[in-house]
């Protein structure tokens, strides 16, 4: 296979479960036979701060960090954070984002406003834009906490990986008692 | 078998496969998960030490007993452990001894970005630097072998992108048949009196020469010859960035960054027209190559500060005319509000910092989650230097101040940091009668690094119950006469304690005792009632916003009059601090 690298960036707020989502992606890429690297930051930045996780796969991956301007897919857990990291993407990249807002400190204190019309601003730069009602679909699947899995399902449509591989990755990474709901949530996301 | 492992998990696996028997560490980002993963292997005796010096000494002790032993720490931890490191270089080892150090270029979670490679050269011990998780495993195994082969401690250097990066690793088996641990009498080697140390020093110097020769033929230092025009010398994660940014360049990848394989470097430099040294932080390799009389470029292209990346290397090389400039258009976005880290909702530190701010305290700070007391709107930290410095900085500060300013000096330090290096500082303060106030924020855990147990938390690394250091009695034993404990969720009691102890012209200690909201389990954090704002009673005075709780949001009134506060029920932990600040009884339990 040709060494084309696919670059995925997962962005959101510390504590949103970004690390687990990036683990499931990595697992699926390894199961599909690719080389995989991922990179993230732990520690102080996880205390409610802005978080970016990088996942890359292909025949042979060198850098664990996605080079600036080469992101293929932006997987957003929160709207403002998704907008913040658009410059990491290449032209024509896909953006899949949960329709979810978390106010940063200056907004909580009433010193700044949460930016308006972010979906429109993102879409004007990246036409392959999908806004997902992650929480709503997760609730429909049986548990609001499965919102990230809905998102994974939506992202999976943009990756050339067989459905069975995704199922295998979820079975490995999700606790058994939550598996059924997560498989359902994944399917809802994949249908979008 | 193949698995996706982080660098830290792979280092732990490497220690297991190498037959390591004893491991010790103090948590520190990005190194923490190494020991947490070593602890999964029951064949290895793993434990948290109160600080890095102790951790390394525990490992040295085990190595003197013929066991393979491991100590792990972040870069600044080596400053604390430097004393035993330098002497262990002279004694050498019995069983293999490996010190893992994880640097943090870009300071994602650190107070400086010192380059640990200088320690290897300074202490005269070899240093290996892996470039991905597979190498983390292999180099850890090799480090133990080299330690015994060359009779030296071996340092293994990681960094944030290696430790917290993940890649695919082929696992191996644990080695068998290592010599059994036993007491070994070898005083001329292990008792570093001047007479013995003078004998050991020339052996250390000779060892460095032998290691440099080993490096010239060792497989971990390898030439990848592609172009004869451009050659790059690099190591660690930078190797990955270089391969990505300059795919046509020849590369000398160094797996051992100290001592350097001088002959191999000469050979490589003779094969390329232009030689670059690309390395994060200091020109450690570059300076040595220049000292060898070899022409190369390095820090005139890349910065001394922060991390490198494929993009930064590409840009640097384009500026120098080595490659063509990139023309990829990038999207520009409008300025948006920043999202800095914040203390959690219900964090027991919040009420204390609120009161310190109100009492106009000058706060000498320390290293932990509570360093976030610096952030607005709490704005309650004035200095922060290193682990344990809050108390001694405060003690020094009061010595030069007039009495009315002395009273304002308050040192804040967490339980784990106090046990790490704060005890000596408090001893000094008591001994020399420095009239500062110390607050020990006892949240029952080492929180910042991800909730590790410590000697006062009541549990070991394995989760077994353990004797708890009695912090109030310890303070008294050190000579502090005025020691009191308060619940930081009780603002009135906290206020009173802060004001009374600040006014006291003697050394005193306040212990704020309340578990971190992230530690669950019996006798630990218990969630309070979820609170809500009664919109009829809220006058929009913003008093509750002064604690900066992420669960409380100010929403402006669309009609144009004053806005009101709202509490997010999903985030509220029910600490009640905001409720105590509301003069209009607008905050109460959710119905």
Q: How many CA atoms lie within 13 A of B3 on its CB side?
A: 12
Is A72 part of any domain?
yes
pLDDT of residue A15: 85
For chain B, what is the domain count? 4
Q: Within this chain, do residues B367 and B509 fall inside the same structural domain, yes or no?
A: yes
Type and span of the H or E element at B90:
helix B75-91
pLDDT of residue B520: 81
Q: What percent of chain B has pLDDT over 70?
A: 99
Query: Is the bond into B377 cis (omega within 30 degrees of 0)?
Result: yes
Is A102 part of any domain?
yes
For chain A, what is the domain count? 1
> Residues 6 or more apart from B118 whose CB is under 8 A from it?
B282, B284
> Residues 6 or more apart from B190 whose CB is under 8 A from it?
B64, B91
From chain A, the residues in CB contact with B167 under 8 A are: 35-38, 61, 64
Q: What CATH number should be reported for the domain holding residue B554?
A: 3.30.70.20
Is A85 part of any domain?
yes
Is B338 part of any domain?
no
Please report the ipTM that was assigned to this predicted complex.
Answer: 0.95
From chain B, the residues in CB contact with A36 under 8 A are: 4, 166-168
Is A111 part of any domain?
yes
| Packing angle of the helix pair A134-141, A176-191 (nearest 10 deg) | 130
**Residue at which a domain ends, from B466, B483, B513:** B513
pLDDT tens digits, A18-75:
999 999 999 999 999 999 999 988 766 667 889 999 999 999 999 999 998 999 999 9
Inter-CA distances, A68 with B22, B220, B382, B438, B465, Å: 42, 30, 36, 46, 48
Q: Within this chain, do residues B197 and B246 fall inside the same structural domain, yes or no?
A: no
Q: Within this chain, do residues B161 and B198 fall inside the same structural domain, yes or no?
A: yes
From chain A, the residues in CB contact with B336 under 8 A are: 80, 83-84, 115
Is B123 part of any domain?
yes
**Are the C-beta atoms of residues A155 and A17 closer than 8 Å to each other?**
no
Q: What is the dihedral of CA B73, B131, B9, B521, to 10 degrees?
A: 60
Instruction: Report the mean per-residue pLDDT for chain A.
Output: 94
Q: Using the predicted structure, report yes or no on whether residue B94 has a pLDDT greater than 50.
A: yes
Q: Do A106 and B161 touch (CB under 8 A)?
A: no
Is B237 part of any domain?
yes
From chain A, the residues in CB contact with B160 under 8 A are: 41
Backbone angles phi, psi at B104, to 5 degrees: -135, 65
Is B65 part of any domain?
yes
Is B547 part of any domain?
yes
What distance in Å separates the CA atoms of residue B58 and residue B23, rounded to the nearest whole number? 8
> Residues 6 or more apart from B420 whose CB is under 8 A from it?
B26, B50, B51, B80, B387, B388
Q: Using the predicted structure, report yes or no on whether residue B187 has a pLDDT greater than 60.
A: yes
Kindly identify which residue of chain B lies nearest to residue A14, measuring between CA atoms. B341
Domain of A98, in residue numbers: 6-191
Mean pLDDT of B139-165: 98
Is A91 part of any domain?
yes
DSSP secondary structure of B37-55 = HHTT-TTSEEEE-SSHHHH
Is B331 part of any domain?
no
3-state SS class at A160? coil
pLDDT tens digits, B449-473:
999 999 999 999 999 999 999 999 9
Q: Tokens in use for A74?
A: 């932006």
Q: Within this chain, do residues B258 and B407 fall inside the same structural domain, yes or no?
A: no
Q: Do A69 and B311 touch (CB under 8 A)?
A: yes
What are residue B274's DSSP bridge partners?
Answer: B230
Q: What CATH number should be reported for the domain holding residue B471?
A: 3.40.50.970
Is A1 part of any domain?
no
The DSSP secondary-structure symbol of A191 reads H
Q: Within this chain, do residues B453 and B553 fall inside the same structural domain, yes or no?
A: no
**Residue at which a domain ends, from B459, B487, B513:** B513
Is B340 part of any domain?
no
What are residue B413's DSSP bridge partners?
Answer: B440
Poorest-pLDDT segment among A8-12, B481-485, B525-529, B561-565: B561-565
CA distance A120 to chain B (A): 13
Q: How confident is the model at residue A150 (pLDDT cuts 50, 70, 90)?
A: very high
Q: What CATH number should be reported for the domain holding residue A25?
A: 3.40.920.10
**Are the C-beta atoms of residues A125 and A86 closer than 8 Å to each other?**
yes
What distance in Å separates the CA atoms of residue B137 and residue B152, rounded to the nearest whole number? 20
Mean pLDDT of B372-387: 96
Q: Within this chain, do residues B199 and B236 fall inside the same structural domain, yes or no?
A: no
For tokens 């698995």, name the residue. Answer: B3
What distance in Å separates the CA atoms of residue B279 and residue B307, rounded to the nearest whole number? 9
**Are the C-beta atoms of residues A30 and B4 closer than 8 Å to each other?**
yes
Is A81 part of any domain?
yes
From chain B, the residues in CB contact with A59 under 8 A are: none
> Residues 6 or more apart from B321 whose CB is under 8 A from it?
none
Q: Within this chain, do residues B392 and B434 fall inside the same structural domain, yes or no?
A: yes
pLDDT of residue A44: 64
Q: Within this chain, do residues B492 and B576 fall inside the same structural domain, yes or no?
A: no
Is B169 part of any domain?
yes
pLDDT of residue A1: 47
pLDDT of residue A58: 97
Mean pLDDT of B335-340: 94
Q: Using the predicted structure, report yes or no on whether residue B267 has a pLDDT greater than 70.
A: yes
What are residue A64's DSSP bridge partners?
Answer: none
Angle (CA) B317-B245-A88 rounded to 5° is 100
Q: What percent of chain B has pLDDT over 90?
A: 95
CA distance B313 to chain A (A): 10
What distance in Å separates the CA atoms of residue B470 and residue A114, rounded to the nearest whole number? 47
Kindly identify which residue of chain B lies nearest to residue A57, measuring between CA atoms. B167
Mean pLDDT of A180-184: 97
Q: What percent of chain A has pLDDT over 90?
A: 90
Is A133 part of any domain?
yes
pLDDT tens digits, B250-264:
999 999 999 999 999
Q: Do A27 and B376 touch (CB under 8 A)?
A: no
Q: Within this chain, do residues B239 and B207 fall inside the same structural domain, yes or no?
A: no
Mean pLDDT of B525-552: 95
Pairing of strands B383-384, B165-170: unpaired
**Residue at which a domain ends, from B217, B244, B259:** B217
> Residues 6 or more apart from B516 whose CB is under 8 A from it?
B347, B348, B369, B443, B444, B445, B447, B451, B525
pLDDT tens digits, B300-318:
999 999 999 999 999 999 9
Type and span of the H or E element at B137:
helix B133-149
Domain of B574, in residue numbers: 531-589
Q: Within this chain, do residues B415 and B366 fall inside the same structural domain, yes or no?
A: yes
Residue B37 CA to its chain's centroid (Å): 17
Q: Within this chain, do residues B110 and B198 fall inside the same structural domain, yes or no?
A: yes
Q: Within this chain, do residues B308 and B409 fall inside the same structural domain, yes or no?
A: no
Q: Do A63 and B29 touch (CB under 8 A)?
A: no
DSSP secondary structure of B179-209 = PPP-----HHHH---HHHHHHHHHHHHHHHH
Q: Using the predicted structure, report yes or no on whether residue B534 has a pLDDT greater than 50.
A: yes
Q: Do B164 and A13 touch (CB under 8 A)?
A: no
pLDDT of residue B384: 98
What are residue B4's DSSP bridge partners?
Answer: B168
Q: Using the predicted structure, report yes or no on whether residue B376 has a pLDDT greater than 50.
A: yes
Mean pLDDT of B391-411: 97
Type and span of the H or E element at A179:
helix A176-191
Q: Do A83 and B336 touch (CB under 8 A)?
A: yes
Q: Using the predicted structure, report yes or no on whether residue A129 has a pLDDT greater than 80.
A: yes
What are residue B254's DSSP bridge partners?
Answer: B235
**Are the C-beta atoms of residues A103 and A150 closer than 8 Å to each other?**
no
Using CB atoms, pick whichever of B160, B165, B375 lies closest to residue A37: B165
Q: How confident is the model at residue B47 (pLDDT cuts 50, 70, 90)?
A: very high
Q: Do A121 and B241 touch (CB under 8 A)?
A: no
From chain B, the residues in CB contact with A80 under 8 A are: 336-337, 339
Q: What CATH number should be reported for the domain holding residue B280?
A: 3.40.50.920
Q: Do A83 and B339 touch (CB under 8 A)?
A: no
């Amino acid at each position: 296979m040709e060494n084309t690298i696919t670059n995925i960036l997962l962005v959101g707020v510390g504590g949103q479960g970004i690390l687990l989502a990036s683990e499931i992606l990595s697992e699926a890429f390894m199961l599909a036979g690719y080389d995989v690297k991922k990179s993230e930051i732990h520690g102080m930045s996880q205390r409610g701060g802005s978080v970016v996780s990088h996942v890359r796969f292909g025949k042979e991956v060198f850098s664990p960090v996605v080079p600036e301007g080469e992101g293929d897919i932006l997987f957003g857990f929160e709207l403002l954070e998704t907008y913040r990291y658009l410059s990491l993407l290449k032209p024509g990249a896909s953006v899949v984002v949960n329709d979810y807002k978390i106010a940063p400190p200056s907004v909580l204190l009433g010193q700044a406003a949460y930016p308006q019309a972010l979906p429109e601003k993102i879409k004007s730069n990246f036409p392959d834009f999908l806004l997902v009602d992650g929480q709503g679909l997760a609730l429909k699947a049986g548990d609001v906490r499965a919102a990230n899995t809905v998102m994974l399902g939506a992202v999976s449509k943009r990756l050339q990986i067989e459905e069975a591989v995704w199922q295998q990755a979820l079975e490995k990474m999700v606790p058994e008692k939550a598996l059924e709901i997560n498989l359902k949530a994944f399917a809802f996301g994949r249908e979008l | 078998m193949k698995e996706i492992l982080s660098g830290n998990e792979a280092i732990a696996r490497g220690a297991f496969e190498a037959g390591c028997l004893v491991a010790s560490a103090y948590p520190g980002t990005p190194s923490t998960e190494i020991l947490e993963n070593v602890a999964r292997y029951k064949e290895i005796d793993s434990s948290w030490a109160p600080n890095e010096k102790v951790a390394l000494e525990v490992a040295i002790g085990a190595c003197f007993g013929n066991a393979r032993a491991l100590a792990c720490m972040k870069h600044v931890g080596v400053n604390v452990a430097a004393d035993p490191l330098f002497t262990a270089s002279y004694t050498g080892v019995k069983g293999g001894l490996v010190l893992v150090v994880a640097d943090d270029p870009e300071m994602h979670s650190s107070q400086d970005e010192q380059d640990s490679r200088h320690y290897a050269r300074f202490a005269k011990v070899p240093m290996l630097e892996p470039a991905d998780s597979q190498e983390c495993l292999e180099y850890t195994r090799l480090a133990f072998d080299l330690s015994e082969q060359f009779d030296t401690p071996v340092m293994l250097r990681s960094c944030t992108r290696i430790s917290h990066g993940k890649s695919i690793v082929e696992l191996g088996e644990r080695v068998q048949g290592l010599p059994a641990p036993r007491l070994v009498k070898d005083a001329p080697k292990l008792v570093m009196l001047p007479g013995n140390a003078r004998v050991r020093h020339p052996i250390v110097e000779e060892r460095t020469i032998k290691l440099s020769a080993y490096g010239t033929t060792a497989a971990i230092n390898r030439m990848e010859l592609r172009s004869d025009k451009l050659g790059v010398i690099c190591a660690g994660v930078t190797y990955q960035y270089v391969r990505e940014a300059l795919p046509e360049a020849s590369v000398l990848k160094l797996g051992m960054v100290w001592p350097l394989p001088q002959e191999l470097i000469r050979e490589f430099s003779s094969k390329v027209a232009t030689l670059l040294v690309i390395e994060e932080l200091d020109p450690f390799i570059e300076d040595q190559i220049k000292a060898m009389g070899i022409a190369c470029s390095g820090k005139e292209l890349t910065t001394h500060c922060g991390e490198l990346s494929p993009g930064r290397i590409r840009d640097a090389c384009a500026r120098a005319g080595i490659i063509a400039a990139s023309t990829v258009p990038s999207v520009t976005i409008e300025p948006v509000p920043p999202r800095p880290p914040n203390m959690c909702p219900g964090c027991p530190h919040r009420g204390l910092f609120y009161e310190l701010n109100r009492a106009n305290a000058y706060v000498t700070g320390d290293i932990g989650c509570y360093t976030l007391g610096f952030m607005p709107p709490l704005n309650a930290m004035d200095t922060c230097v290193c682990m344990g410095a809050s108390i001694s900085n405060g003690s020094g500060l009061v010595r030069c101040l007039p009495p009315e300013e002395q009273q304002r000096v308050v040192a804040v330090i967490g339980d784990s940091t106090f046990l790490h290096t704060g005890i000596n500082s408090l001893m000094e303060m008591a001994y020399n009668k420095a009239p500062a106030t110390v607050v020990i924020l006892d949240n029952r855990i080492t929180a910042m690094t991800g909730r590790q147990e410590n000697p006062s938390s009541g549990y070991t690394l394995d989760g077994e119950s353990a004797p708890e250091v009695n912090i109030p009695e310890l303070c008294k034993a050190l000579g502090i006469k005025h020691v009191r404990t308060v619940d930081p969720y009780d603002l009135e009691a906290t206020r009173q304690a802060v004001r009374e102890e600040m006014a006291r012209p003697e050394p005193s200690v306040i212990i704020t005792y309340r578990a971190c909201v992230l530690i669950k389990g019996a006798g630990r954090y218990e969630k309070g009632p979820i609170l809500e704002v009664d919109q009829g009673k809220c006058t929009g005075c913003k008093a509750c916003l002064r604690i900066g709780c992420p669960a409380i949001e100010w929403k402006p009134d669309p009609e144009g009059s004053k806005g009101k506060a709202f509490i997010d029920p999903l985030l509220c932990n029910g600490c009640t601090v905001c409720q105590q600040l509301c003069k209009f009884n607008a905050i109460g339990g959710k119905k």
